[in-house]
Structure 1
Amino acid sequence: MNFTWFISKKIAFSKSNKKNLSQIIIRIGQTAVAIGIIVSVITLAIGIGSKKAIKQKMADFNGHITIKSYDSNNSYNSSKLNKENVEIDKIKSNPYVSEVYQYATKSGVIRTEKNFAGVILKGVSNDFDRNRFKEFIIRGEIPKYSEDSVNNEVLLPEKIAKEMQLDVDSSFVMFFVRENDSPIYRRFKVKGIYRTDIKQIDDVFVIGDIKHIQKLNGWSPNEIGGYDIFIDDIEMLNEVFPSIEEAVGFNNYAEKATTTFSQINDWIQIFDTNIFIILTIMMVVVIINLIMVLIILIIERTNSIGMLKTLGASNNQIRKIFINYTLIIMVPGLVIGNIIAIILLYIQKIFKIIKLNPDNYYVSSVPVYINFWHIGIISVLAIVISGIVLLFPSYLISKISPIKALKFQ
């Protein structure tokens, strides 16, 4: 067994340690390590969880990637997609693509006896992923759309439902303006109420049957406004996007969800900076406490240092002994901190105790993403960085004279 490691363990697990005054300092150091790890793990889990949750919400409504006509530009009224040039089979065969469904949008006005609101009708077809959208439903259910008949049932966002005083099974009239023609209206029935907590969606989008938009625009049943494409992992979006972009064809273009909701995406990118700052502060706190512990241990064990030098131990060997000793002391704090952090994160994940204002944060409760690789990396980095930094205060050992140390009381 390595000499320095053997002596470190003997000192660390010695029963005499319990009687030393430095034991209080050691406990303070372990507590600081535990708190630092708790804050670091929770910060990383919440930061990454928030980014994933918000990105996923954007994508679950609009698709991770959207294909539309250049003529649509940024208009809420879809222009006819040039389907013939879209290599849809190539897109669907992409191993990262999970679903593709067609859509079209058209602006209109909901009118009731007491109020009115400008909205966007997003028409979807029978390929609409009802299971993906279930998490947003707060009342009612998702309509079923078929290829054969027109369905007048729609999903209404909660905000508009409250403003219009509408609920499940209510009916309302929506007015549309057609080019070079008089306004036309359609009557719809509310089948379900949804909420995504994303203002840009909840303020305007009504989901209904694409056949209404096809008739309003004078399109054939095969003509659509675009495709919503879903991939297996939103973190792979930048890697998958180029291959999708190559298959959209002439006069069409592909757009990522992070581009469609660019303001939200820019906001969540700030999370990376915040995570880095908090992790850095916690690491500094841990290191300062460990340096303090090491210095106190060196002072307390001055006689032992003198004895080891007298017996022929080099300064480097003694330094390694005390650095190993300090890192062994650090381990209980790491373990306890990780356990507490994981328990707290699971409690939040399951019970969603801490709530947020969705108008400001786009989510109604604090989201967490628990990744044990991340937790392990934080712990390993804490040990490695601490071990490197502790090299500097350990140079005090080389200043200790064996003769004076043996006389030290």
Structure 2
Amino acid sequence: MKFPLYFSRKIAFSKDNKNNLSRVIIFIGRLSVALGIIVSLITVSTGFGSKKAIKERLADFSGHITVRSTRSNSSYNTSVLDNQGLDVKRIKEIPDVASVQKYAMLTGIMRNEHNFAGIIFKGIGKDFDSLRFKKFLISGTTPQVTEKGYNNGVVISDKTAKDLHLKVKDSIVTVFSKADQQPIYRKFEVLGIYRTDIKMIDDQFVIGDINHIRKIQDMKPDEAGGIDIFFKNINDADTDFPEIEKLIGYKNYAEKATEKFPQITDWISIFDTNIALIIIIMLIVVVINIIMVLLILIIERTNSIGLLKTLGASNSQIRATFINYTLIIMIPGLLYGNVMGLGLILIQKFFGLIKLNPENYYVSTVPVDLNPLAIISISLGILIISGLALIIPSYLISKISPVKAIKYN
């Protein structure tokens, strides 16, 4: 074993540390490291967790990638998809694709004696992924659409249900408008109530039979206003997006879930800045505290430094000894910080104790993401950067004279 590492371990585990100033210094150093780890872990896990949760909610409701006609532009009323160049079969054969479902959308107004609400009626077909949608249901079921005849069942949002004083099995009249024609009335039965916690969705969308829109819009039985493409992993959407664009034809366009709601995307991007800022601040605090610990330990052990120099130890060996000594002090702080930080994260993950206002944060509880790579990177990053930061202040040792050091009291 090399001398610096051997000697640093000897003084780190020396019983003398329990009866002098080192005891307090070691406690402060370990406490600062532990707090830095805890705050960094919570920041990263909640930041990445929030980004992931919001993106998944957007994608699971409206598809990771949506294909629409260019004639629809940004309108909520969908135009019929152009079949020229559109190859749905090949899209389904892409390995990362989990499912594909067709839809059509039309704006309308739901009203009763209590209130009225502007809605976007999203018509679904028999290929609707009810299992994926089930996570949003808070009561009732989704309509079983066969595309033969008309299913008058709809799923409305919790907000719409409260605004119109509706519950499952209640009836509601919806008014649709059509150019140069009288308003068209449809009476629906509430089969289910959903909540995504995303205001832009919950304020507007109603799920029902696509045949109602086909009838109102004079569409053919096999036509649709768009297709929702779901992937096995949300990250696959970015990877496969170029391939999807090649299979939809030039009169249609593809759009990612996050692109449909740019205000949410802009809000999510703030997380990256906040995470980086908090980690940098905590890193600075930890490094400053560790440097102070090193300097105080050097001053406290001036006699030992003088004795080591007298016995022939070089400045570089003594510097390495004290740097190793300080890093050894940090290790229990890293362990305590990881245990406490991960413990708090797991409590939130399984019990959801901390709640949020979904109107502001798009989720009702603080989501967390346990990423092993991020956890390891935080601990290693703090340890490595602290070690590098200790190199410059350790040069104070070279200024200590052996003769004066031995006399130092």
TM category (shorter chain) comes to over 0.9
The share of aligned pairs that are identical, in percent, is 57
Equivalence for 1:137: 137
Aligned mates of 1:218, 1:124 — CA distance in 2: 16
Please state if 1:238 is matched with 2:226.
no
CA distance in 2, matches of 1:155, 1:260: 21
Residue 29 of structure 1 aligns with which residue? 29
Separation in 1, partners of 2:250, 2:45: 43
Q: CA deviation at 1:84?
A: 4.0
Q: SS at the partner of 2:312?
A: coil
Aligned to 2:343: 343
| 3-state DSSP of counterpart to 2:207 | strand
Question: Displacement, 1:83?
Answer: 2.6
SS at match of 1:85: coil
Deviation at 1:35, TM superposition (A): 0.5
- 2:229 aligned partner, one-letter code: I
Q: Which amino acid aligns with 1:304?
A: S
Aligned to 1:278: 278
Give CA-to-partner distance per residue, 1:355-384, whole Å, 9 cap, x none. Answer: 000000000011100112111100000010
Moved more, 176-185 or 308-317: 176-185
Q: Give distance in 1, aligned partners of 2:237 and 2:3.
A: 52
Answering whether residue 352 of structure 2 is matched by residue 352 of structure 1, we say: yes
- Matching residue of 2:66: 66
1:407 maps to a residue whose letter is K
Give the TM-score, by structure 2 length.
0.98
- Superposed, 1:387-406 pairs within 5 Å as 387-406=387-406
In 1, Cα distance between the equivalents of 2:44 and 2:96?
A: 26
Deviation at 1:325, TM superposition (A): 0.4
Instruction: Give the Cα–Cα distance (whole angstroms) in 2 for the partners of residues 239 and 111 of structure 1.
Output: 43
Which stretch shifts more, 137-146 or 190-199?
137-146
Structure 1 counterpart of 2:143, which letter? P
Paired position in structure 1 for 2:55: 55
Equivalent position amino acid for 2:374 in 1? H
For 1:408 and 1:222, how far apart are their aligned partners in 2? 93
C-alpha distance in structure 1 between counterparts of 2:232 and 2:194, whole Å: 23
* In 1, Cα distance between equivalents of 2:63 and 2:178: 27
2:161 counterpart of 1:182:
no
Distance 2:99 2:207 in 1: 18
5+ long unaligned stretches in structure 2: none
CA RMSD across the alignment: 1.1
Residue 95 of structure 1: how far off its partner (Å): 2.1
The letter of the residue matching 2:391 is: L
> Structure 2: how far apart are the matches of 1:197 and 1:135?
12
| 1:188-218 alpha-carbon deviations (Å, 9 max, x no partner) | 1001111111111111110001111111112
Aligned to 1:204: 204
State the partner residue of 1:192.
192
Kindly provide the CA deviation profile for residues 219-242 of structure 1, in whole angstroms up to 9, marking residues without a partner as x. 122100010111222234322211
User: What TM-score results when the alignment is normalised by the length of structure 1?
Assistant: 0.98
Runs of at least 4 residues of structure 1 off by over 6 A? none
| CA apart distance, 1:352 | 0.6
Partner of 1:122: 122
Once residues 286 and 237 of structure 1 are traced to their aligned partners in structure 2, the CA distance between those partners, rounded to angstroms, is: 39
List gaps (5 residues or longer) in structure 1: none
Q: For residue 122 of structure 1, what is the amino acid of its counterpart?
A: K
Give the Cα separation in 2 of the matches to 1:33 and 1:405. Answer: 31
2:147–2:210 CA contact under 8 A, matched in 1: no
Moved more, 204-213 or 90-99: 90-99
Q: Distance in 2 between matches of 1:94 and 1:404?
A: 76
Q: Deviations over 1:70-122 (max 9, x none)?
A: 11111111100013421212211222221111000011111212322211110
Tell me, in whole angstroms, the C-alpha distance in 1 between the residues paired with 2:263 and 2:45. Answer: 23
Partner of residue 5, structure 2:
5
Matched, 1:15 2:54: no
Q: CA deviation at 1:126?
A: 1.4
